[in-house]
Amino acid sequence: MKNAAGTSGLIMNEPLLWERGKKGRKGMSIPEHDVPMVQVDSAVQGAGPDFPDLSEVDVVRHYTRLSQWNFGVDTGLYPLGSCTMKYNPKTNERQAATPAIAGAHPMLDDEYAQGTLKIMYDLQQYLKNITGMAAATLQPSAGAQGELTGMLIFDAYHRSKGSKRNKILIPDTAHGTNPASAALCGYKPVPVASNADGVLDVETIRQLMDEETAGIMVTNPNTLGLFETNIREVAEIVHAKGGLVYGDGANMNAIMGIVDLSKCGVDVMHLNLHKTFSTPHGGGGPGAGPVCVTKELEKFLPIPHVLKDDDTYRLDWDNPDSIGRVHGYHGNYGVLVKAYSYILTMGADGLKKASQLAVLNANYIKEKLKTALYLPYDKPCMHECVFSDAKQHELKITTLDIAKRLIDYGFHPPTVYFPLVVQGAIMIEPTETECKEDIDQFIETILVILEEAKENPEILHEAPTRTKLKRLDETLAARKPCLCG
């Protein structure tokens, strides 16, 4: 191997700020006050917070060193599957930080918020066009909340028909939040096994779908990185029994600008703006999970909804069939602005190209690694490809060993042991933002590690060895986590 992505380098230790601070240090100069001093009753004031005394250099070095312990998309390739950890153009951050946008109060009357309402209205229109759906809400603040919103719409729809339904079909290749979202709305999740090709089996759906089932939640492309080729037949079966089809759009990065979801038979779907539409993902947020629906379901969308009357934008609260609010005010507005900026920057052709390159990169990795790693579904994939450690079992090397050794070479590990339908799964999603040279370096690193597994497996068992902390006891960490800081 010519060059590794990472080296041992300088690994700086860093204590807590309370250990670093010393009395009398200051990191700022405060101007003289111009009001008289007033003595406050100590019983009212209390002892005050225990802030450490720090100089400016103490603070700068502390946070710089902590940042060097982290790895993110600005550091290098982040091949986590199902997460679209793509590089985020910084111009989108700049637009969201525009004072007139960031400083707008959410309770302003419509006449004083025409610019911000226009952004919301236009984004609704863009998302409708991208998905092929008839209406959209921007309120949900994450994909899982989008799913919950979709299930509430399912419930409202069936109630409006006088129908009581209590089950939801959940494929084994769906995202893990799907069954939880259905259960929160009182539905019983019914597991659906995928077929030998890794997609939904039409006959299985036909057997499971009945008048007590509200519908199905389909992740498409699914968590195996495969497009559900039978989606239209599945939708027809569900609709024939009076059910609805929910589309989990978290993997939209493979099909935006290419697939019309309404023509696939989808009735409700959410989009993860913090994945597909280039707003930072990971670290717990912030996110945005807008929901798009067919015309028939529009009346159930959360309120308020942004409407346009001639050249004036307004919030519409007059919708008695609405499921109500799912988020305070208007959703995570900053995330919406970043996605709005991304869509305008890319344009229709650019969004389509992003999907095509994401699929190309994933298939390139699949073809380059399929002789070294076991490929359970040897067929064209979408934005991610799934391998397993089956070929390394005789060497007593596991998926976890491979993932930990990648850290030594400067790469963040891919998703491991998910989806559950593949034992020892290794899911790799390169996204469209990675160039061929960086992908080739990642592929070469995997191949070098697999050679190490044959020649010196102990290296993998001990990995990572070049990090600040070596391999941890993950079972102990899960059972007895240290939460003291």
pLDDT (0 to 100) of residue 9: 64
**Mean predicted confidence (pLDDT) in 350-354:** 97
pLDDT average, residue stretch 362-380: 98
Confidence category of residue 253, pLDDT binned at 50, 70, 90: very high
99-108, 239-248, 350-359, 397-406: the lowest-pLDDT one: 99-108
Asked if the model's pLDDT at residue 68 lies above 90, the reply is no
The pair of structure tokens assigned to 156 is 């409202």
91-346 shares its CATH topology with 355-477: no
The whole-number pLDDT of residue 282 equals 60
The pLDDT assigned to 28 comes to: 83
pLDDT at 82 over 70: no
The whole-number average pLDDT for the span 337-352 is 96
Mean pLDDT of the region 53-69: 91
Query: Residue ranges of the domains in the chain?
Result: 91-346, 355-477
Query: With the C-alpha atoms ordered 157, 161, 164, 170, is the resulting torsion angle positive or negative?
Result: negative
The domain defined by 355-477 carries CATH number 3.40.50.1370 = no
Q: 442 or 78, which is more confident?
A: 442
Q: Residue 283 — very low, low, confident or very high, per pLDDT cuts 50/70/90?
A: low
- What average pLDDT does the segment 320-335 reach? 92
Q: What is the pLDDT of residue 102?
A: 92
Over 90: is that where the pLDDT of 477 sits? Answer: no
What share of the chain has pLDDT > 90, as a percent? 76
State the CATH architecture for 91-346: 3-Layer(aba) Sandwich (3.40)
Report the chain's mean pLDDT, rounded to a whole number: 93
Q: How many angstroms separate the CA atoms of 392 and 432, rounded?
A: 29
pLDDT class of 322 with cuts at 50, 70, 90: very high
pLDDT given at position 284:
59
Could you give the percent of the chain with pLDDT greater than 70? 98
How confident is the model at residue 2, as a pLDDT?
A: 72
pLDDT tens readout for residues 200-239: 999 999 999 999 999 999 999 999 999 999 999 999 999 9
Nearest to 338 by CA among 138, 89, 144, 128: 89
For residue 44, what pLDDT is reported?
A: 74
Evaluate if residue 169 carries a pLDDT over 60.
yes
Which pLDDT score, from 0 to 100, does residue 485 have?
A: 53
Whether pLDDT at 3 is above 80 = no
Inform me whether the pLDDT recorded for 158 exceeds 60: yes
Burial of 201 (0-12, 13-18, 19+ CB in 10 A): middle
User: Among 67-71, 109-113, 192-196, whose mean pLDDT is lowest?
Assistant: 67-71
Q: Would you put residue 77 in left (φ > 0), alpha (ψ -120 to 50) or beta?
A: beta
| Of 241 and 44, the one with more pLDDT | 241
